[in-house]
Amino acid sequence: MSVSVTPLTQRPAWQALEDHYQKVKDIHLRTLFAQDPKRGERFTCEAEDLYLDYSKNRVTDETMRLLLQLAETAGLRERIDAMFRGDKINITEKRAVLHIALRAPKDQSIVVDGENVVPAVHAVLDKMTDFSNRVRSGAWKGYTGKRIRNIVNIGIGGSDLGPYMAYDALKYYSDRDLTLRFVSNIDGNEFVECTRDLDPAETLFIVSSKTFTTLETLTNAHSARKWCVDALGSEQAVAKHFVAVSTNATEVAKFGIDTANMFEFWDWVGGRYSYDSAIGLSLMIAIGSEKFREMLAGFHAMDEHFRTAPFERNLPVILALLGIWYNNFFGAETVAILPYDYYLGRFTSYLQQLDMESDGKSVDLEGRRVNYQTGPIIWGQPGTNGQHAFYQLIHQGTKLIPCDFIGFVHALNPLGRHHDLLMANLFAQTEALAFGKTAEEVAADGVASFQVPHRTFEGNHPTNTILSSHLTPETLGKLIALYEHKVFVQGTIWNINSFDQWGVELGKVLANRIIPELENGSEPELTHDSSTNSLIRRYRRMKKA
């Protein structure tokens, strides 16, 4: 594509934004709102029961026009079409990028290497449905004949964060007679704490790993197997207490799990885009297949919105462009994601992998070092807890931190005044961040003059507010797809590959080299740098002491 030949910062659309930035960078949101009484209604976009208010951003109509022009000239439309068509847009791994096929309706056709992949997706969904029904009904029994009451998902990264986040998010809809646990860390403390109160005879392990070679997952899976076999007294127990989710049948069989109990997915599903594949099996067991399919319908609705809506009314595109505005022109380094819902406690951790593993790249599609910023640091936690922790810095610190606030109109558990108080806080924060409080206003309150500078709020801190009616499986699917596509749009404009993750490899290789140096009693000679050598020597010495 010719668009990707000219380096991003040399393109006219980019340069127009740089010029425009110089003109508007100091305009205050107070001024923008004063100039346009309808701003809070105009700078909004609604689709699929998600209402986005982006009026409290430091943008004008001209900013949005130029950002949209940037998207157009970056070839975004062609890239979206290429992704949905199943083109191998993950060029470094020569793979299609088709998480959208995981939620495609049965009658859709998406062809990869000459084969329509949609029937295979639905066949796995049906197999998951059958299995989860059997576990939920008690028809699937453990080795001793007891029904399964505990599900432990063993996986890491995309094979953990998605189902864990979604299980928390949708706990309200889950079968409360089932206990779900998620073991990811190679730190044995996690495995021990997660299993200490579980009866092995009632526990099912789902070993989730796309590659089925990941050190953490395989180590935990072997410990689980020993824990199970030791307690139940037979290797044959494995068949009743272990199932796998993977693309790698050979390794699954090698581990000793019957491939009949393997739930398949495909190399065109990236790890961080996989929780709506069979990686979501634990979630399906928890909430049931109907709710799981409602969630998929939510994903699909957002996919269709993203694929078809004009960019100026396209939620993922708007969010992505605003992010680029702050990341690349204002020099903001981070984005805070602030869900005002207890159930979204793990939402930000999930988005960290989605965004930072996707767009944490410094080389463009042509292999050139980029001379502009790419993916931001994603952080945050649910409100209102954050208000009593780090919001001070957002309000009065020296850094510009664009924030996404996410809230729901209806509480899942209405309890007295709680929900109105929660949402009042959300609205208040976006108002305070945008408009602040001037020194004059502070002084007019009778504040002692020595305190005035300390109690002044500059404001002009940008926020998006995403409002929906309820947190349902469908809404969750829409929200996740919204952020998936936002990340893709940004990666497209930055001209990077959002779908590989070579940056995680070096650490894995070095850890594998160090493992025998720690475990081997003969203490092989060390050939690392002096810091790593002396840390290893110290560890060995103290371990023996």
Choice from 142, 163, 200, 271 touching ligand F6P (CB under 6 A): 271
Total binding residues for ligand F6P by CB under 6 A? Answer: 14
Of 168, 357, 404, 484, the one binding ligand F6P (CB under 6 A) is 357
Query: Whose structure tokens read 């300390």?
Result: 454
Burial of 251 (C-beta count, 10 Å sphere; 0-12/13-18/19+):
middle
Q: Which residues, at least 6 apart from 150, have a Cβ–Cβ distance to it below 8 Å?
A: 178, 179, 180, 181, 198, 199, 202, 203, 204
Please name the amino acid found at residue 32.
L
For position 459 contacting ligand F6P by CB under 6 A, the verdict is: no
CB of 357 to ligand F6P, least distance (A): 6
The piece of 34-42, 203-211, 424-432, 462-470 that touches ligand F6P (CB under 6 A) is: 203-211
Q: 465 to each of 30, 384, 403, 423, 431, how far by Cα in Å?
A: 18, 15, 8, 11, 11
Would you call the peptide bond into 430 cis, given omega within 30 degrees of 0 as the criterion? no
Least gap, CB of 333 to ligand F6P (angstroms): 23
- Looking at 271-343, list the stretches that DSSP marks H as alpha helix, in order from N- to C-terminal side: 281-287, 289-308, 315-324
Cβ density class 90-124: b for 16+ within 10 Å, e for less? beebebbbbbbbbbbeeeeebebeeeebbeebeeb
Q: Which of 58, 225, 241, 272 binds ligand F6P (CB under 6 A)?
A: 272
| Minimum distance of ligand F6P from residue 212's CB (angstroms) | 7
Under the binding rule (CB under 6 A), the answer on residue 477 touching ligand F6P is: no
Q: Rounded to whole angstroms, how far apart are CA atoms 482 and 11?
A: 27
Cβ neighbour number for residue 65 with a 10 Å cutoff: 14
Please answer whether residues 298 and 475 qualify as being in contact, where contact means their C-beta atoms are separated by less than 8 angstroms: yes
Write the DSSP assignment of 23-53 as a string of letters: HHTT--HHHHHHH-TTHHHHSEEEETTEEEE
CB of 179 to ligand F6P, least distance (A): 23
State phi, psi for 108 to the nearest 5 degrees. -80, 155
Minimal distance in Å, beta carbon 153 to ligand F6P?
Answer: 11
What CA–CA distance (Å, rounded) separates 537 from 265?
A: 43
Which one among 34, 504, 515, 518 touches ligand F6P, defined by CB under 6 A? 504
Work out how close the CB of 272 gets to ligand F6P at its nearest, in angstroms, rounded to a whole number: 5
For ligand F6P, the closer of residues 214 and 463 by Cβ is 214
Among 159, 277, 289, 464, binds ligand F6P (CB under 6 A): 159
Both ends of the chain: CA-CA distance in Å? Answer: 62
Q: Could you count the other beta carbons within 10 Å of the beta carbon of residue 154?
A: 30
Query: Interacting stretch for ligand F6P, rule CB under 6 A, among 153-161, 306-314, 413-421, 469-477?
Result: 153-161
- Say whether residue 158 binds ligand F6P (CB under 6 A): yes
Q: Of 184-192, 209-217, 450-458, 510-518, which part binds ligand F6P (CB under 6 A)?
A: 209-217
Q: Which stretch binds ligand F6P (CB under 6 A): 105-113, 204-212, 257-265, 509-517?
A: 204-212
Question: Counting contacts by CB under 6 A, is residue 282 touching ligand F6P?
Answer: no
Which one of the spans 188-196, 205-213, 336-344, 512-520 is the region binding ligand F6P (CB under 6 A)?
Answer: 205-213
The whole-angstrom separation of Cα 190 and Cα 164 is 14
The token pair at 366 is 């042509």
**CB closer to ligand F6P out of 215 and 393:** 215
Query: Among 76, 117, 156, 356, which residue sits at the site for ligand F6P (rule: CB under 6 A)?
Result: 156
- Cα(322)–Cα(465) distance, integer angstroms: 13
Nearest distance in Å: CB 209, ligand F6P: 3
Per CB under 6 A, does 358 bind ligand F6P? no
Nearer to ligand F6P, 167 or 326 (CB): 167
442 binds ligand F6P (CB under 6 A): no
Q: Which range, of 154-162, 255-263, 374-382, 389-397, touches ligand F6P by CB under 6 A? A: 154-162
By the 8 A CB rule, do 403 and 336 touch?
yes
CA dist., res. 130 & res. 260, Å (int): 13
157 binds ligand F6P (CB under 6 A): yes
Among 58, 79, 210, 291, binds ligand F6P (CB under 6 A): 210
Q: Which residues form the catalytic set?
A: 357, 388, 508
Please tell me what DSSP assigns to residue 256: T
User: Which residues in 33-72 contact ligand F6P (CB under 6 A)?
Assistant: none
> Which runs of E-coded beta strand occur in 164-251?
179-183, 203-208, 242-246
Nearer to ligand F6P (CB atom), residue 495 or residue 501: 501
Considering only 203, 214, 282, 468, the residue that binds ligand F6P (CB under 6 A) is 214
Summarize as ranges the residues that interact with ligand F6P (CB under 6 A).
156-159, 209-211, 214, 217, 271-272, 357, 501, 504
